[in-house]
Structure formats: C-alpha cells, structure tokens
Structure 1
Amino acid sequence: MRQHVLGSIDVKQRLLVECEREIQQAAGLLSQALRSGGKVLLCGNGGSAADCQHLAAEFVSALSHDFERPGLAAIALTTDTSLITAHANDFGFSHIFERQVQALGRPGDVLIGISTSGESENVVRAFRCARLQGLRTVALTGSGGGRLLALGDVCVRVPSTNVQHVQECHITIAHLLCMLVESGLVVAQPVAAAAGWGVGHGK
C-alpha cells in the first residue's frame, strides 16, 4: 500500500516539473473555445471513459462553490449507450467516437482524448476526424504518447508507464484544467461580462 501511494506521489511531482507547460497550453485552448461559444467533447475507454464523464460534469456543473459561473459546454461521448451499442454493432467499436465527432463537432470546438497508451483506435480515429473538421485536440496519455502524440495540438504525457499512476494523474490534470479555465474566465472579465459569465449556479 505504501509503495503504491509513494509511487503515485512521485509521478505527480514529476508531472508538475515535466508537464506544466502542456497543461497550461491545454487550458488555453479550452478557455479560448468556451469564450468563443465553442464546446468541449471528450472520449476514452474504461477508466478513461469515467474520467471523461467526470471532467464534463465539472465543466457543466461546477468544480466547487468558490467561483460562481454558468455551466460550460462539455459533452462526454462515452455516455449514450444506445448510440454506442448501435453503431458498434453495425459498424465496429473503433468508430463510436469518430461518428459522434463528425455529427457534433464544429470548427472552434476542442476534443479531449484520454488514453493511457495513446493507441486506443477509437480515440485515434476521433482525433483524425476532429482535425479534418477544424477542431483543436488535447490528448492525455502515458509517457509514450502513442499515435495521439502526433495528432494532438497538445499532448500531456504523464511521466510513467504504470497504468494506475497514469490514470490517477489524469483525473488530477482534469481538475487542473477546469480550475485554470475558471481562472481564465476571472481574468477575462470584460469578455466574461459580455458573454453572461457571473450568473450564479444553484446551491
């Protein structure tokens, strides 16, 4: 137990040293898209699918009650079981996110793909479709980056090959991205006021 926790702490410390610039860049893309009326799409498999839903919930609802804001447009492409099972059954599992990006993505949106290996075929296909449609892309991966490294406008590579530690860092990165986006909205007060920021959410 101690070995696992200490290992996780070590990876997070290296994340702060090695990935700070990429995390800031990713937050910048998200802030720009949301201030311009765009949205965030998210895709991943397994635990990464859960992380997609977690981050989408933080954007649409709130990270905390410390900062009053309206909901931010974010959609996890992992939640519609009817669509996913229908399309996977008819056309194959590797197309389930690509199809949703094609249908829902618009220029100016951002697609976040979460994959510890960076090699998940359905996420790779979604990124290729996103680039063709004018979306920006952010990849959260392990140390190698896989194919997503070349396909992402920004790729945050957690400095570890331990899948569990990578996943633990991914949710930390998700919270950081949401926090930084909210901080950016505070800095951009004139833009925020014009767009209706500052409307309180329910408590």
Structure 2
Amino acid sequence: MNPESLYPFLSPEQGDGSGVLADVRASTEEKAAEIVALRESLADLHGERLVECARRMAACFEDGGRLFAFGNGGSGTDARQIEELHVGPPPQGRPLPAVSLPHDVATVTALSNDVSFDVAFARQLAALAGAGDIAMGLSTSGGSENLLRAFAEANRRRMLTVGFAGYDGGRMAQAGTVDYLFVVPSSSVHRIQEAQTTLYHVLWELTQWVLRGRS
C-alpha cells in the first residue's frame, strides 16, 4: 500500500502538499500551546486543594487504605495508569495498593450483562472497598452514570472520594458525593484528558512527598 492511498492530498496530482503540511503544523502548534496554557492555569485553580487532597490520601495509605480507580473509555485507560503509578513507582517512590476497576473485564462484563452497566463500578466497590479506602473516578463530561453511582456507594462506605472532570464538572459537581473534584475548564475532550493526566500525576507526586515526610 503506497502513502498516496492513505493520504491522497500528498499525491503528485495534488501538488507538493506543502500547504496541507503547513496547516497541520500550525494546528499542532496551536494545540500544544493550548494544553500548555491550560496546564499552567491548573496550578492556580487547584494547587492548594491538590496538596490538601494528597495529605488526606497519604493518611489513608498510612492507615492501610487502598485506592480504587475507575472511568470509561480513555478514562479507563487513565485508571489503569493510576494503578500502575501507585503499585510500581520509580526507586524514590513508595509502592501503594491500588486497583483499576475497569480492567477486571470478567466482573465488568458480568455486571453489565446480568444487572446494568450503571452499577459496574459501584458493585465492585461494595464488594471490595470500605471506610478508609480511596475512590478515584475520571470523566471528561462529569456525567457518567456509572461514576455517579460509584461515588454514591463510596460516600456511603465513608471512603475518601477524588474526581476528575471537564467542562464545568457536570453532574459530578452537583452530586455532593466527591470530596475533592478537580475540574479542567475546557470543552475539548482531548485537552481535558491531557490535563487530567497532569493532575493525577501531580497528586501522586504530592502524596509520595507527604509520605516521605511521615516516614
């Protein structure tokens, strides 16, 4: 398969493609500048609450608590990275117990098939988690029903709840079940997920920093 079949605008018949490449370059530079500015704004928007949340999370881990992360689609992939960050940190970090709920495929599909996808995470928390554990959910819209039910279940179990959302926070901001909600004020799903990645990495680093001070 030649490149022209995939990218016909680069074929000789369409010219040298320099105009298209210039447009792609300009678009890439614009997106890079956008995410840099958005990430920088999060320090002022969430800085103090990130430190406060990290202290609460460190206290949970010190008392034997575990972290349960969850989300749908790309946010489910982020949940897996959150698990990996905590369980297998670099040499200067401290391994911490964490589980990515979307990646127990058998349980998620069983609950979705036999009950409802809306309870796929809430039922796992009901079975596995308890007071002193941490529930961490990610959504770009802030409106995922299965996240809302999971946070409600976590709240009933007196877990520490941490959420990441985009836009204006959506229903997650209205529910009153999330102790620490970090909203990325953007309407771009791509920029929201990129910024959320920064937020949970910073939160992990701060938690490790607090734990080092406690040891």
TM-score, scaled to structure 1 = 0.88
Kindly indicate whether residue 105 of structure 2 is the aligned counterpart of residue 78 of structure 1.
no
Superposed, 1:147-166 pairs within 5 Å as 147-149=171-173, 150-166=176-192
Q: What stretches of structure 1 move > 6 A for 4+ residues in a row?
A: none
1:171 is aligned to 2:168: no
Unaligned segments of structure 2, at least 5 residues: 1-27
Identity %: 31
* Correspondence for 2:155: 131
Specify the alignment match of 1:122 in structure 2: 146
8 Å contact 2:70–2:76 — kept in the other structure? yes
> What displacement does 1:10 show?
1.2
* Cα deviations by residue, 1:48-103 (Å, 9 ceiling, x for unpaired): 100110011010000x23x153x201111011111111110111111100100100
Partner of 1:142: 166
Aligned residues: 186
In the TM superposition, what is the alpha-carbon distance from 1:40 to its structure 2 partner? 0.6
CA distance in 1, matches of 2:98, 2:51: 19
User: 1:29, CA displacement in angstroms?
Assistant: 2.1
Partner Cα separation in structure 2 for residue 44 and residue 178 of structure 1: 17
- Which amino acid in 2 is paired with 1:175? H
Shift of 1:38: 0.6
Matched with 2:3 is none
Provide structure 1 residue ranges, at least 5 long, that are not aligned to the other structure: 190-203
Written as runs of structure 1 = structure 2, the 5 A alignment for 1:7-156 is: 7-62=34-89, 64-65=90-91, 67-69=92-94, 71-149=95-173, 150-156=176-182
What RMSD over aligned residues (CA atoms) do the two structures have, in Å? 1.1
Deviation, 1:26, is: 2.1
**Distance 1:21-1:57 versus aligned 2 partners, 3 A rule:** same
Partner Cα distance (1:29, 1:138) in 2: 10
Equivalent residue, structure 2, for 1:186:
212
Q: Distance in 2 between matches of 1:144 and 1:32?
A: 29
The SS at the match of 1:157 is: strand
More helix by share: 2
Higher relative contact order (CA 8 A, sep 6+): 1
Taking structure 2 as the reference length, the TM-score comes to 0.83
SS class of match (1:147):
helix
The 1-side partners of 2:85 and 2:123 are apart by: 24
Corresponding residue number in structure 2 for 1:195: none
Is 2:93–2:208's contact at 8 Å kept on the other side of the alignment?
no
Amino acid in the other structure paired with 2:31: H
Please give the alpha-carbon distance, in whole angstroms, between the structure 1 residues aligned to 2:116 and 2:93: 42
Separation in structure 2 between the aligned mates of residue 45 and residue 13 of structure 1, nearest angstrom: 26
Deviates more, 1:22-31 or 1:35-44: 22-31
